Chains A and B, each alone.
Chain A
Amino acid sequence: MASLKDFRVRIASVKSTQRITSAMKMVAAAKLRRAQEEAIAARPYSERMERMLGSLAQSAAASGNAPPLLAGSGKDNIHLLVVMTTDRGLCGGFNGSVTRSARQRILALRADGKEVKILMVGRKGRGILRAEFGSMIIDTLEDTARPAPRFETAVEIAQRVRTMFEAGEIDVCTIIYNKFISALTQEVTPQQLIPFALPEADDADAEDDSSDVAGNAAYEYEPDEKEILTDLLPRNLSVQVFRAMLESFASEQGARMTAMDSATRNAGDMINKLTIQYNRTRQAAITTELIEIISGAEAL
């Protein structure tokens, strides 16, 4: 049986843990608001860029002079996975779900006889994947989102991927990140970056402009399709990476907020339980003492 002092120490320690988790929850909530606004503010750009690319891609494919970033290298042997995880822990199942999805993908690709390379973003994910796939990780980028994701960082990552693609080191590039749905939910989203693939129309919340998409074919290009595409495709790569970073960052804050909220609640439950036990033990001790005194008096 634990002594009264043990209980007091235990309760004090749980209380201080609770203070930390509730502070972290508050910080995450504040960061989440900003991150969410940023992620949502960045959506119009990538949506419009996709719209432009969509019409360009159609006409380039029709004329048959699509640059490699659009058409691919013609092979499908070496896959690069860019896995977006966090630099810090204590965010629930956030990194676990990304790495789980990455792992399944790697195993599936390997079963198909493809070579896989991994570019890790965030040091938490590396720890999880290193044990199994350590030799495939070509590099880990850390502190990409401190204090917040910046477009320049996205440009650097995109540049790196493009250099590898142009050097023939990779054929296909996919980024895996947590898409922000709400503070409580994230969705692991794999998105193919190279060759460029139009994502399925899933953004029902985007304003409905399907009416003028029909008129795509009539676009004039200045200077010409090919030159615009050679400018636009690398740009799009950076934008998609940036978007993934923003989404992932907002999701991270959401996940941390939820995790810390439940940790705070669990700590509260634990304190209640410990306090009851403490009081019972205290009472038992008092009762024992009383019985001792009374029986001592009766014996006299």
Chain B
Amino acid sequence: MADNPVQFELVSPEKLLLSDDVEMVVVPGVEGDFGVLPGHAPMISTVRPGVIHVFESGSVKSRIFVAGGFAEVTAERCTVLAEEAVPLDEIDRAGVEKDLQDANEDIRDAGGDAAQLGLAEARAATARAKLASLDNLVYQ
């Protein structure tokens, strides 16, 4: 299988973040994590906030946090359209905790403004997901 890698692409609205041939990627789908190996059945899935694991020769090469998005998988390709993507080891815990606090304050201040409330809740959810990903490292 190694001579037939998965072509993995991670794209954010701003730019193409990563385009690489890899052995396997594990993507956090809404209905559970799924691993993509070469020859995967074609599918399209929504991605929940969580960590994408890129595997190289049997172990995790990189962990990338994504704040939701969409994944398209074909036999030779895996494309993830992420809303926000940061390598997990670049996340600054203090910064995220502050974000969470700010977002929570915004939720309280939003009052009746549904749009504001929605935005603030999304921010809070992202921050919580970041913290959770930092706390529970899966796969070695």
Contact = CB atoms under 8 A, between A and B. Distances in A.
Given A215-B74, A222-B31, A45 B46 contact: no
Contact of A44 (B16, B72, B75): B16
B14 A42 contact: yes
Interface centre among A45, A55, A238 (most CB of B within 10 A): A45
A52 B42 contact: no
Contacts of B77: 212
Interface stretch (A89-97, A118-126, A223-231, A261-269): A223-231
- SS class of chain A's interface: helix, strand, loop or mixed? helix
Contacts of A56: 44
Nearest to A213: B74
Contact of B14 (A151, A218, A220): A151
Interface centre among B29, B30, B46, B76 (most CB of A within 10 A): B46
Interface string A115-152: 00000000000000000000000000000000000010
B15 interface: yes
Interface string A27-51: 0000000000010011011001101
A239 interface: yes
Interface of A: 38, 41-42, 44-45, 48-49, 51-52, 55-56, 151, 159, 212, 215, 218-223, 227-228, 231-232, 235, 238-239, 242
16 contacts: A38-B15, A42-B14, A44-B11, A45-B11, A45-B15, A49-B81, A51-B72, A52-B81, A212-B74, A215-B74, A218-B42, A222-B31, A222-B45, A223-B31, A235-B70, A242-B13
Given A219-B44, A220-B42, 14 more contacts: A42-B14, A44-B16, A45-B13, A45-B14, A48-B72, A48-B81, A52-B44, A52-B70, A151-B13, A215-B42, A221-B43, A222-B43, A222-B45, A235-B70
